[in-house]
C-alpha cells in the first residue's frame, strides 16, 4: 500500500473559525499504553489527563495498544489495562475491543503499515543498515524514552560501502536500520511546556527505525499509527518530550502535519525518581483489591493536577466541565511514599 494513501485518508487537522477560535469537531486524541505490566498511578495520571482534554473538546478518544515488543508485552496485560481504564471511568470511542474505521488498534497487527513507511524512506535513500553492538541498541526500539541515556549516534555505519556491509553480514552480524537526520532542526510549541527546539544530529543523531530482530522502532510506529488514525492532539508524559522532534521529523518525511503536542509533568517520588513500586506505587488492580474506590484515585490525581482544592472522591466525568490545561503544573509532581495508605484512608 502506498504511504500517500494511508496519510491522506488518515489526516485530520485542527480547524480555526472566522473569529480565530479553535474548532474541536474533528479533534482526535489517543491513549496508547504498552501492555508490559499492570497499570500504575503514573499510567492512570496520563490517561486521566488525556481523557479530560479530549472530552472537554468533544473530541474522539482512540485507545491503541503499543504491543510492538513481543518479549515484554502480553495479552493478559492488555486485558488488564482495558479493565482498569473502565473501572476508573475512562471510556474510548475506538479501540481493540470496540473496533472503528482505523482498525486494527494493536501495533502487533499493523507491521504492514510500518513496512510501507520503511520502503518509502528506503527509496529516498534515507535509511542505512547499522551493525553497531546490541548493547547500544537494545532499549531503542521497545522503549519510547530512547536517547535519554545520553547516547548520540555518531554515524559509524552511515557511509559503509555495499562491500563493507556484505562483509559484516558474512561475519554473522545482524543490522538494525537508521534514519538519516542531516542538519534537521525541529521547532515546535508545546501547549504546556512552551517553545521547544532540537537539532537532531546533536541530540540523538541518526536514529533506529527497525531493530536487529526486525521489530519496528517506537518512533516510527507511533507516527505511522497517529497519521493513519487521524490523531491531531497528543497529551502524554513529559518523559517523551525529548523524542517529539524525531517524531515531527518523521511526520514531515511522510508528508503529514504533526499533531498538537501537550506534555504533562511526571509523578515523582520524594527522592526525585520517577514513581515506581519502591515508592509504594501499587497497581490500580491491587489498590482496587485492597478496597480503594475509583473515585478516590481520580480525586487524588485531580488534586495533584491542580484541578481540585483537596483530595476528595470525584468521578472523572465530573471534572470535564472545569478542566483546563492552564491549571496543570509545569514541574514534576512529588508524591509522598505513603500515598497508598492515604488512598486507603480516603476510601
Active site residues: 277
SS3 of the chain: the string is CCHHHHHHHHCCCCEECCCCCEECCCCEEEECCCCCCCCCHHHHHHHHHHHHHHHHCCCEEEECECCCCCCCCCHHHHHHHHHHHHHHCCCCCEECCCECCCCCCEHHHCHHHHHHHHHHHHHCCCEEEECCCHHHHCCCCCCCCCCCCCCCCCCCCCCCCHHHHHHHHHCCCCCEEEECCCCCEEEEEECCCEEEEEEHHHHCCCEEEECCCCCECHHHHHHHHHHHCCCCEEEEEHHHHHHHHHHHHHHHHCCCCCCEEEEECCEEECCCCECCHHHCCCCHHHHHHCCCCHHHHHHHHHHHCCCCCCCCCCCHHHHCCCCCHHHCCCCCEEECCCHHHHHHHHC
Q: Contact at 8 Å (CB) between 61 and 31?
A: yes
Supply 89's cell numbers: 471511568
110 Cβ neighbours under 8 A, 6+ residues apart? 104, 221, 224, 225
Residue 10 exposure: Cα atoms within 13 Å on the Cβ side: 29
Amino acid at each position: 500500500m502506498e504511504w500517500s494513501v494511508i496519510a491522506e485518508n488518515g489526516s485530520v487537522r485542527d480547524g480555526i473559525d472566522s473569529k480565530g477560535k479553535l474548532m474541536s469537531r474533528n479533534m482526535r486524541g489517543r491513549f496508547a499504553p504498552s501492555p508490559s505490566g499492570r497499570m500504575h498511578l503514573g499510567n492512570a495520571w496520563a490517561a486521566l489527563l488525556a481523557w479530560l482534554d479530549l472530552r472537554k473538546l468533544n473530541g474522539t478518544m482512540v485507545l491503541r495498544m503499543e504491543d510492538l515488543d513481543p518479549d515484554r508485552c502480553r495479552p493478559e496485560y492488555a486485558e488488564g489495562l482495558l479493565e482498569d481504564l473502565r473501572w476508573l471511568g475512562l471510556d474510548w470511542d475506538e479501540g481493540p475491543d470496540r473496533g472503528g474505521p482505523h482498525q486494527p488498534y494493536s501495533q502487533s497487527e499493523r507491521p504492514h503499515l510500518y513496512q510501507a513507511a520503511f520502503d518509502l524512506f528506503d527509496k529516498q535513500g534515507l535509511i542505512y543498515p547499522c551493525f553497531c553492538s546490541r548493547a547500544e541498541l537494545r532499549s531503542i526500539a521497545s522503549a519510547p524514552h530512547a536517547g535519554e541515556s545520553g547516547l548520540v549516534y555518531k554515524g559509524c555505519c552511515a557511509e559503509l560501502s555495499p562491500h563493507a556491509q556484505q562483509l559484516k553480514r558474512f561475519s554473522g552480524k545482524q543490522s538494525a536500520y537508521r534514519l538519516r537526520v542531516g542538519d534537521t532542526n525541529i521547532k515546535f510549541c508545546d501547549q504546556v511546556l512552551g517553545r521547544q527546539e532540537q537539532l537532531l544530529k546533536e541530540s540523538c543523531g541518526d536514529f533506529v527505525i527497525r531493530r536487529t530482530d526486525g521489530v519496528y522502532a517506537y518512533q516510527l510506529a507511533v507516527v505511522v499509527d497517529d497519521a493513519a488514525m487521524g490523531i491531531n492532539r497528543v497529551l502524554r508524559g513529559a518523559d517523551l518530550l525529548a523524542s517529539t522532534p524525531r517524531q515531527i521529523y518523521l511526520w514531515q518525511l511522510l508528508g503529514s502535519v504533526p499533531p498538537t503536542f501537550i506534555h504533562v509533568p511526571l509523578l515523582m517520588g520524594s527522592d526525585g525518581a520517577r514513581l515506581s513500586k519502591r515508592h509504594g506505587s501499587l497497581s490500580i488492580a491491587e489498590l482496587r483489591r485492597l478496597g480503594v474506590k475509583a473515585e478516590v484515585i481520580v480525586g487524588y490525581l485531580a488534586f495533584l493536577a491542580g484541578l481540585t482544592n483537596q483530595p476528595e472522591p470525584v468521578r472523572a466525568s465530573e471534572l470535564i466541565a472545569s478542566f483546563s490545561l492552564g491549571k496543570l503544573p509545569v514541574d514534576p509532581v512529588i508524591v509522598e511514599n505513603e500515598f497508598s495508605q492515604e488512598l486507603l484512608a480516603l476510601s
